[in-house]
Structure 1
């Protein structure tokens, strides 16, 4: 069955995703020929077809000499007799032609007609019933998931990978395949048997991300389809392991280029402007264009990955919150996120909304322009953080001085000033003064739109006395191999305790 599924999934482009095979099998000490069949709908990509067939094959009945499983996208069957036509490429043979009816012996032809028509009608009814049952199951799953489930191959069952496959793909999680490490776990590069390259996020058992966050990230991200979001391929819950399987993004994360003095020159201004626009479109999709309103709550440079063409892809949805379409804000006692990117109303009062992500986006824009971290900012002209410094330059009419020196040989003055002004608008203290992501995307694509004049932004780090944030009662996802103060913006806070 596995060989038949593989053959069907890897059919030549343009050909029907269909395969049959036969082999000798041992049934109760007697050898008999086993006939197998696997088929996907023609619209499925190879990877989705293979995943669908693997799922339905796992649901075949055990201990029988025949069985079949149907789903809306694929089906498999095996029997000890030849149940398909070897000369046809469809599942069933065409019905035999009707015998011409002679006027002279009508009594003889009626039984023949009934014998032909009744089995055909019964077969059609059985297929319709099977399709109806499959659709009912899909609708039932949609209801359980709050109406956010996609077609059947992105259900929880179809997304599951077995641990042995993941272990083999990563060469038993070897250090040579490790891409990174944080408080939530480690990330490895892997290669599946079909040669697809993947990124494997293996959550640590003692991490702050529990079952709720894991299921949230797995089910939520699998439904999201956008060029500026990292695609989730599946997950593994086996041997007390929590593993997420993502598409592989080769150029690491944005902070790897923006904050490293030796690599800052690889991102010229045109690339940075393109990255800012891509991030904005990805957040707009989360806020307004996906099925439900999604608040990311942990937007930062290390959660923006870059593909082979330096296109940005938003990742790490373990802290995301799902809203109804008409819901605009929420409150939580469990504040999660990263100091330096958290809006003041969220950090202090636990109130979050789409404007919380807008605030984080504004900080990110100022970091991309300057090449400096907000909460690890070297004190300049009396400013203790990047937002304060950007505001001071704006008031003094010296906004361009915020631009990273490596970019000053070739850049668009109008684009830089508009981005700085937009970034300051995003970090306003009052959420009502911040623009929506739809407005931001419009501002990035049109020079005819006039930007409002920003007010003094929120200085959430202004009260620091020694450059460090209090670390009591906080958990971090920063790299365990680094020993840096809590003021760096790589510390994702999973819980905040009042003094």
Structure 2
């Protein structure tokens, strides 16, 4: 699970007529026979995408419900764990901006998770993928996606118990229903955080360009890591640019490197996606950029929490005087591993065996088109949690 792709996103676009599962808390256990029939025998014609975990198929149940079925490829301890985590998290969440669980199948030889199919696919498909030329994301829709996704993260971080860290916030994991309402999806990497715990130390999984530096360097994950990723997503939504873009001569630049000079000089209009043709709300734009700049600060204690992010975007928080991104740049060797270009969204997954240390593992090519998994080294920085003074305990997971 925790894949380098979003299961709903692929070249296939199916007729609309689905039921929004995020608003419907009912889920059930499916039989393998039911899902086999719904997907036409897991036919290649029904395949929506493929990743390291296996494949995802479009299907239709006997009562007419359109579904997406994630079918696990391997039956090993890692895959079993990620399957269990995703099912547990999906069964817990009840929010209109989080993709809920439709059901699952856990037979002797099969592990499958069932979701509702999202007819407008993912945010990635509209910003950089097959629908990027259709200009369906006007400013109003972008603001709705921003606020809806943020509210979903507020629920995960502050309302559900135990709190949940997503760990893979990115454009391909923000799904869009028939009305372009956002649903945050793919909880295979999620971590449940007990009360009183500030952060956890864990193996690094995520997508190059979105990973917070303290997570990439130290494997220390907290709600602040999701905040960082959300800040990158805000810049991506405003500008239409990728988190890492390819420059002439093979160089690569992060979206924060591109945006920082413009933000520091208050050239906010120059940040806006040209596809909007100048049709946007300047006051909202400033608030979104302020939120983004705060979210991507290199030191986690300088970032707002998601409740504060929502307040900034809505204009109910005090507005800052000046803005400046103080982030951490990825090292050149890591940047060189990124294979994204304007016309090619390849994926590289990072494999970590149980006996690998934090600098072990290897990259492998994915057949997915949804991002770059990687454990990264970045420029030296102080351990961001030393200043916490033992205020709350750290746990390993």
TM-score range (shorter-chain normalised) is: 0.7 to 0.9
**1:474 and 2:362 matched:** yes
Deviation at 1:462, TM superposition (A): 5.2
Structure 2: runs of 5+ lacking an equivalent: 1-20, 339-347, 351-359, 379-397
After superposition, residues 91-490 of structure 1 pair within 5 angstroms as: 159-205=28-74, 209-260=78-129, 262-263=132-133, 265-332=135-202, 334-378=203-247, 384-446=253-315, 449-451=318-320, 453-461=322-330, 463-464=332-333, 467-469=336-338, 473-475=361-363, 479-480=366-367, 490=371
Q: Work out whether residues 86 and 186 of structure 2, in 8 Å CA contact, stay in contact via their aligned partners in 1.
A: yes
Q: Work out whether residues 374 and 386 of structure 1, in 8 Å CA contact, stay in contact via their aligned partners in 2.
A: yes
- Other-structure match for 2:14: none
- Between the aligned partners of 1:207 and 1:256, the Cα distance in structure 2 is 31
- Structure 1 range deviating more: 272-281 or 452-461: 452-461
Q: Work out whether residues 427 and 457 of structure 1, in 8 Å CA contact, stay in contact via their aligned partners in 2.
A: yes
State the 4+ residue runs in structure 1 displaced beyond 4 angstroms: 206-209, 469-472, 495-498
Deviation at 1:417, TM superposition (A): 2.1
Q: Work out whether residues 169 and 191 of structure 1, in 8 Å CA contact, stay in contact via their aligned partners in 2.
A: yes
Q: TM-score, normalised by structure 2?
A: 0.77
Q: What SS does structure 2 have at the residue aligned with 1:309? A: coil
Q: What SS does structure 2 have at the residue aligned with 1:220? A: helix
- Structure 1 range deviating more: 254-263 or 340-349: 254-263
After superposition, residues 20-59 of structure 1 pair within 5 angstroms as: none
- Between the aligned partners of 1:448 and 1:234, the Cα distance in structure 2 is 40
Cα deviation per residue 1:451-486 (whole Å; 9 max; x = unaligned)? Answer: 36444422332545973359783356x75166xxxx
Change in 2 beyond 3 A, CA 1:262/1:214: closer
Deviation at 1:239, TM superposition (A): 4.5
- Between the aligned partners of 1:309 and 1:345, the Cα distance in structure 2 is 37
Change in 2 beyond 3 A, CA 1:402/1:208: farther
Cα deviation per residue 1:5-59 (whole Å; 9 max; x = unaligned)? Answer: xxxxxxxxxxxxxxxxxxxxxxxxxxxxxxxxxxxxxxxxxx9xxxxxxxxxxxx
- Between the aligned partners of 1:284 and 1:204, the Cα distance in structure 2 is 33
**1:491 and 2:372 matched:** yes
Q: Work out whether residues 161 and 236 of structure 1, in 8 Å CA contact, stay in contact via their aligned partners in 2.
A: yes
- Between the aligned partners of 2:89 and 2:368, the Cα distance in structure 1 is 30
- Structure 1 range deviating more: 222-231 or 443-452: 443-452
Change in 2 beyond 3 A, CA 1:383/1:391: farther
- Between the aligned partners of 2:171 and 2:247, the Cα distance in structure 1 is 18
Cα deviation per residue 1:337-371 (whole Å; 9 max; x = unaligned)? Answer: 11111100000001111100000000011011111
Change in 2 beyond 3 A, CA 1:300/1:179: same
RMSD: 2.9
- Between the aligned partners of 1:245 and 1:442, the Cα distance in structure 2 is 34
Cα deviation per residue 1:60-113 (whole Å; 9 max; x = unaligned)? Answer: xxxxxxxxxxxxxxxxxxxxxxxxxxxxxxxxxxxxxxxxxxxxxxxxxxxxxx
Deviation at 1:206, TM superposition (A): 7.2
- Between the aligned partners of 2:77 and 2:247, the Cα distance in structure 1 is 30
Structure 1: runs of 5+ lacking an equivalent: 1-46, 48-149, 483-488
Q: Work out whether residues 264 and 406 of structure 1, in 8 Å CA contact, stay in contact via their aligned partners in 2.
A: no
Q: What SS does structure 2 have at the residue aligned with 1:265? A: coil
- Between the aligned partners of 1:322 and 1:379, the Cα distance in structure 2 is 42
- Between the aligned partners of 1:179 and 1:236, the Cα distance in structure 2 is 19
- Between the aligned partners of 1:390 and 1:250, the Cα distance in structure 2 is 32
Q: Which has the higher contact order (CA 8 A, sep 6+)?
A: 2
Deviation at 1:409, TM superposition (A): 2.9
Change in 2 beyond 3 A, CA 1:404/1:475: same
